Amino acid sequence: MRSGALGAAAPWFALAALVAALDRAAKAAVLATLAPGEAVPLTGFFNLVLVFNRGAAFGLLAGASGWQTEFFAGVAAAVSAAIAWLLVRHSGERLFSAALALVLGGALGNLWDRLAWGYVVDFLDFHAGGWHWPAFNLADAAITTGAGLLILDGLLPRRDAAPD
């Protein structure tokens, strides 16, 4: 790997680090303020609530016997390594790299939780008409935003593509 390629990817790694740091700070504030399960209504459709998620998105496998923590941590570590490689290889592709940086930052934020506590701290609770979206965190929001941007990037025409 050329050092120039790594240097060109530095802003994207900085964005990923910023996402992970903001996620950590938000989770620390919620952990210091709320008791598990406690909800603080902020609007008619949004609460802060402290939830510990031992599973994946939407609590998938949360009730498993414990093996899922190591499994999801391993997946997050492998995906993070793959994304880091892609960032170095494609650092000049701004939308693609921004999307990957958001996913990387979110993955690292949730990986930290799994390694430190064995679960992910969730605290954002949106609801309407008695229905609650599963609680999530800033890392999850970054991952979702990054995934959406990756889809958008895939739909946009490539500048280097030859005209039909």
> Which residues belong to the active site?
122, 140
The phi-psi region of residue 61 (left if phi > 0; otherwise alpha if psi is between -120 and 50; otherwise beta) is left
